[in-house]
């Protein structure tokens, strides 16, 4: 019986699909994403389930919404007992591997992966805890402000380039190891920090773009309550950025999108060189987007399109060449992976997503909606919910006015239809669904309880001798390269592909 296909998922951080050539941007160069879309499926209405790094990634791994698994923010622990797609794939016979970022908070830094090749780029502790008792106060350790826009530039190197270069190097090397050791399928996640701010890129990527040709954000006033909070949270009120600074930030972001794309190309090339490409499903996605100056906002934390939508491109054996417009979200990845693996076993927990595999292989529609929950900083002490179905997106918060957008007629989300008489029935139906789907007060109390516990635990663990949860990859130099415990020929055969005999 033939093995199910290998799986390689390449994840960007803060990549809005609107700023990629693969999704039609006229300037941004993404030839490797373009090539995958040209032979696979491009989802045009894919969303994260929480527009912030750690909660989005935990939801993606678990196939569950953040209120179900209590991973509310960038400092909420991801419990080790929650089944992830890595657990399911590993139980199905896959070798599972993570190279790069996943922003796991807590002592479990594997969450089902058999091995992790690098440390994380962000801390694993609970120091970045928001305070919903004082929702207007900034987190002391939280570094987002407008300096990332003001300081955009080209540079010879940054910590983010060092991190991604390492993650890609180890991933490529492990791909060849998989080719040469064993017949079991593998599932690898290669998760990079780019194009996340700071908007600083290496010169070779900066120079891909004519600075004067960089397009500027569309001018639109901030009007809704949540956007106003975000503007305060990123300190946009403490001095406007100039047009020149905005252009440089977008230039740096575009350059780093191209850098991320170049790494997609390196991973695909490694699969080709290892003769694995024809047996591997390749997925490119992100944890959330970046407003990048649109609507006067930057970074994420918003349910507006540039923050909430993510790229989702899938290519590989059996995958149709198509674009798909029906909404879906990152919680759909886990059940999709189970279908790829042929796993029909019992679930360890209820899932909030459905498999996209029928869509990918037969063109059958299985998912028609995207649901999201935001329970982190800059929320008003209450969760902010999102429902995307058909052409409409509905945003609900107990203490804010509702928002309703027709994304077909108004892709820039300029006109809130929540009080439009012509859309009264649609708005009422969404409001009733939100009330039935979520107990906002209960979620608020759960978030507050989580934050209160962490505000006791965090300072206690910072006193005296600290035991870090940050991951240190194991490495045994006695088993690497040429050693006296193995013959020279053994090393050649183990670390060369194709093996030496193939050339005789």
Alpha-carbon distance of 480 to 495, in angstroms, equals 10
The first and second tokens of residue 459, run together, are: 């300072």
Please work out, in degrees rounded to the nearest 5, the angle formed at the alpha carbon of residue 107 by the alpha carbons of 312 and 160.
50
Helix (H), strand (E) at residue 387: strand 384-389
Active-site choice (32, 70, 87, 103): 103
Of 247, 245, 258, nearest to 161 by C-alpha is 258
How far CA 449 is from CA of 66, 131, 143, in Å, comes to 15, 11, 25
Of 171, 189, 190, 194, nearest to 84 by C-alpha is 189
Q: Tell me the Ramachandran region of residue 390: left when phi exceeds 0, alpha when psi lies from -120 to 50, beta otherwise.
A: left
Alpha-carbon distance of 230 to 372, in angstroms, equals 18
103 is catalytic: yes
Alpha-carbon distance of 86 to 190, in angstroms, equals 13
Of 20, 27, 17, 61, nearest to 312 by C-alpha is 17
Length of the chain: 504
CB atoms within 10 A of CB 449: 11
Active-site choice (32, 48, 53, 288): 53
Checking DSSP bridges between strand 322-324 and strand 115-116, what pairing results, if any? unpaired
How far CA 349 is from CA of 54, 113, 275, 334, in Å, comes to 20, 18, 36, 12
Of 118, 107, 288, nearest to 189 by C-alpha is 118
Alpha-carbon distance of 293 to 214, in angstroms, equals 13
The residues assigned a catalytic role are 53, 103
């Amino acid at each position: 019986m033939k093995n199910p296909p290998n799986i390689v998922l390449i994840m960007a951080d803060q990549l809005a699909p609107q700023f990629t050539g693969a999704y039609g941007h006229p300037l941004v160069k993404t030839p490797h994403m373009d090539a995958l879309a040209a032979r696979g499926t491009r989802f045009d209405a894919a969303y994260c389930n929480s527009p912030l790094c750690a909660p989005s990634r935990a939801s993606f791994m678990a196939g569950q919404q953040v209120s179900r698994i209590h991973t509310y923010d960038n400092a909420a622990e991801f419990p080790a007992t929650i089944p992830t797609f890595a657990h399911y794939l590993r139980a199905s016979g896959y070798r599972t591997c993570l190279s790069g970022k996943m922003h796991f908070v807590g002592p479990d830094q594997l969450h089902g992966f058999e091995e992790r090749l690098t440390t994380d780029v962000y801390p694993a502790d609970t120091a970045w805890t928001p305070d919903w008792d004082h929702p207007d106060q900034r987190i002391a350790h939280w570094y987002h402000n407008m300096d990332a826009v003001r300081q955009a530039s080209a540079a010879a190197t940054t910590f983010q380039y060092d991190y991604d270069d390492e993650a890609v190097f180890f991933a490529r090397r492990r791909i060849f190891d998989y080719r040469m050791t064993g017949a079991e399928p593998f599932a690898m996640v290669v998760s990079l920090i780019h194009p996340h701010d700071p908007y600083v890129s290496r010169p070779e990527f900066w120079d891909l773009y004519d600075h004067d040709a960089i397009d500027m954000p569309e001018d639109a006033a901030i009007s809704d309550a949540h956007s106003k909070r975000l503007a305060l949270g990123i300190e946009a009120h403490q001095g406007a950025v100039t047009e020149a600074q905005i252009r440089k930030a977008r230039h740096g972001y575009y350059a780093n999108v191209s850098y991320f794309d170049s790494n997609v190309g390196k991973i695909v090339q490694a699969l080709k060189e290892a003769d694995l490409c024809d047996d591997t499903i390749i997925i490119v996605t992100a944890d959330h987007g970046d407003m990048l100056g649109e609507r006067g906002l930057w970074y994420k934390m918003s349910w507006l399109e540039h923050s909430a939508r993510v790229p989702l491109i899938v290519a590989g054996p059996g995958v149709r060449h198509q674009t798909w417009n029906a909404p879906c979200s990152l919680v759909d990845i886990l059940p999709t992976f189970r279908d790829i693996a042929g796993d029909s076993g019992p679930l360890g927990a209820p899932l909030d997503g459905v498999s996209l595999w029928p869509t990918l292989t037969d063109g059958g529609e299985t998912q028609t909606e995207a649901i999201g929950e935001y329970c982190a900083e800059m929320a008003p002490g209450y969760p902010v919910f999102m429902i995307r179905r058909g052409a409409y997106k509905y945003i609900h918060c107990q203490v804010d006015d509702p928002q309703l957008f027709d994304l077909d007629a108004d892709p820039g989300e300029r006109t809130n239809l929540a009080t439009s008489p012509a859309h009264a029935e649609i708005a009422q139906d969404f409001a009733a669904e939100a009330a039935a789907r979520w107990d906002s007060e209960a979620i608020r109390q759960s978030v507050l309880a989580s934050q209160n516990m962490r505000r006791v635990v965090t300072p206690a663990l910072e006193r005296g001798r600290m035991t870090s949860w940050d991951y240190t990859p194991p490495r045994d130099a006695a088993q690497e390269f040429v050693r006296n415990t193995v013959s020279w020929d053994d090393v050649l055969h183990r670390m060369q592909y194709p093996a030496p005999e193939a050339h005789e």
